[in-house]
Amino acid sequence: MPASSAELVRAARKAGLAVPAFNVPYLPMAEPIIRAVVDSDAVAFLEVARLEWIKFEARGLAEALSEYRRYANPKHVRLHLDHVPVIDEDGLLVDYLEVIQSAIALGYDSVMVDGSRLPLDENIAATRAVADAAHAAGIPCEAELGAILGHESGPLPPYEELFAAGKGFTRVDEAERFARESACDWLSVAAGNIHGAISAAFKDRKKDEARLDLDHLGRLADATGLPLVLHGGTGIKKEYLLGAIACGIAKVNVATEIRQPYEVTLKETGDVRKAQEAVYERTMGYLESYIELSGTRGRICSAVAAA
């Protein structure tokens, strides 16, 4: 029986590796992503976030699951429910628990609740409710603490201004308490990473090149004892990305890197198959040359077996 998603992420952390997670805002992207992961002999997640069926064309939980299952290869790829916010990008309350319980009932391999726009106590309570539901179904729960900017409707302030101020960085003391009380399995943290813009006015722009406070990531890893998650995996300087994995990042979310080639190619050619091939090539390049995780499935599986 293939290892569980929780085992894969823990094993990646133990082996000093990470599991990349590729977002699917357009359902035809699923096939080339899975093909690239298999061809590169890696382990990865295919993932869909609520905003990707609200603001893009992922359509919904069941539709994303159906597309995943058409090409599923559990030796290499699992399905993750990405960001389900308690308060969404437009400041609206979301019936997050109903969405996540639906994903659990459908058979998603892991889920994420995003209570990062809540006060700490409320984020812990919301995460605990989701973690309890996920664990009852035998799957892991991801949560978020800190402000990973980029999904808001307007432009961000200058990146260097944000980094210098440590704006939104996850606090170490809060992370320690959060890990202890929320029961989450993986924690998405902020240490200089940003999301790619999703608003119509800014989604086509090249993402700012980000860097990371690696010392801060190391302190968060030590304080929580959890596998950490890096959202906004596009545009981070390679030395910082690899350094983050060495500091405890065990899952890296990738969206803009593969979304924009799909959109640009489809707009230029009108040919979905050519857009899919653009996604395949970019996913292969990311795995081989950027995050350097090609050929690592065996090492992760060995770490699972040794656990």
Question: Which residues make Cβ contacts (< 8 Å) with residue 255, sequence separation at least 6?
Answer: 22, 23, 25, 195, 196, 233, 234
Task: Decide: 248 and 221 in contact? Cβ < 8 Å.
Answer: yes
- pLDDT recorded at residue 198: 42
Tell me the per-residue pLDDT of 118-159, one tens digit each, with 9 for 90 and over: 999 999 999 999 999 999 999 999 999 997 665 545 555 666
Return the bridge partners of 210, or none. 236
The domains of the chain, with CATH numbers, are 5-306 (3.20.20.70)
Is the pLDDT confidence value at 164 over 90? no
Alpha helices in 45-185 (DSSP H): 50-54, 61-71, 96-106, 120-136, 159-165, 172-182
Is the pLDDT confidence value at 235 over 90? no
What's the mean pLDDT in 22-32? Answer: 98
Q: How confident is the model at residue 2 (pLDDT cuts 50, 70, 90)?
A: confident
- Report the amino acid identity of residue 71: Y
- pLDDT recorded at residue 51: 95
Tell me the per-residue pLDDT of 165-202, one tens digit each, with 9 for 90 and over: 566 789 999 999 999 999 999 999 998 877 655 444 44
Q: What is 107-128 written as a DSSP string?
A: T-SEEEEE-TTS-HHHHHHHHH
What's the mean pLDDT in 77-105? Answer: 96
Return the bridge partners of 253, or none. 21
Task: Decide: 117 and 86 in contact? Cβ < 8 Å.
Answer: yes
Entry field: residues in the chain: 307
Active site members: 82
